[in-house]
Amino acid sequence: MELDDFTTFELNGWEQIAAAYKPRFGEVTKQSNGALLDALDVRAGTRFLDVATGPGYVAGVAASRGAQAVGVDFAQAMIDEATRAYPNVAFRRGSADALPFADGGFDAVGISFGLLHFSDPDEALAEAFRVLRSGAKVGFTVWSTPDRAVDFGIVLKAVETYGRLDVPLPSGPPFARFSDWRECERTLRAVGFVEPRMTEVSQILHTRAPETAFHMMLHGGVRMGAMLKAQTPEALASIEASVLEECAPYRNGDDIRVPMPCVLACATKP
């Protein structure tokens, strides 16, 4: 694969933090797997492709339903994690914008929290369109806006107050582009899909103080992690303390449970 700067940045990041992702972001994103597969009508016999499979969560649940599940990811470290966890699922390395599959071979394609990590999400959706049969569905999940996915709002506010948001990172698509339901619909229709449907799925980030979303993003995320690691040590300490303080309304003793809902969008290939 010939990679642009943003894709190289993302790939290098995921190769390094694949194991750290699972107990952090992974424990949140798994909460919407069932809703994504329900929206795609994945059941026994469904030929299902999990794009940006990561640790293989969605493909694993699809296989437990009896689907013929395949997972693809550009990071070998993620493929290794997925294969260890789900040895009966077929996983292979590949790029979302150049899927290594023939036209029309799948009944459903799912992308769980992957679009924000692609340098060209429109091309990734076009590839999903290509590998789907007529009448089949694509579905994806992305984080809701920071005012609803509260931990993102808390961390970003702390960075804005005590550090810098404009740190030098490779240019990529807007992080919250598909948090906008209208943008989901516009993009899906532009690719060629019909009957787009969007909904919000509830999710909760559960941590134990003093750990918060700050630590989840610092150690388990690529773009957000890089932004935090680019802060000065003094700013980073202030950001960490501020995030813990802002979690007070969601705290019961050391137990912290913060809303982290996602947008679920799906559409049909005519």
Q: Is residue 224 part of a domain?
A: no
- List the beta bridge partners of residue 204: 259
Let me know: does 205 contact 196? Beta carbons within 8 Å.
Answer: no
In a domain, 22, yes or no: yes
67: domain range?
5-146+170-204+261-268
The answer to whether residue 42 sits within a structural domain is yes
For 36, the token pair is 């994504």
Q: Looking at residue 22, what is its pLDDT?
A: 87
Mind listing the pLDDT tens digit for each residue in 165-190?
999 999 999 999 999 999 999 999 99
Residue 129 counted as domain residue: yes
Number of domains observed in the structure of the chain: 1
How does pLDDT run across 214-244, given as a tens digit for each residue?
999 999 999 999 999 999 999 999 999 999 9
187 lies in some domain: yes
Residue 225 domain-assigned?
no
CATH code, 65: 3.40.50.150
Please state which of the ranges 23-27, 56-60, 142-146, 149-153 shows the lowest mean pLDDT: 23-27
* pLDDT tens digits along 21-65: 988 888 899 999 999 999 999 999 999 999 999 999 999 999 999
Measured between alpha carbons, how far is residue 217 from residues 84, 222, 228, 236 in Å? Answer: 24, 8, 8, 12
- Is 221 contained in some domain? no
Mean pLDDT to the nearest integer, 154-175 = 94
Mean pLDDT, rounded, of the chain: 96
In a domain, 162, yes or no: no
Region 152-157 average pLDDT: 96
**Which two structure tokens, joined as six digits, stand for 27?**
């424990």
Judged on CB neighbours under 10 Å (0-12, 13-18, 19+), 120 is middle
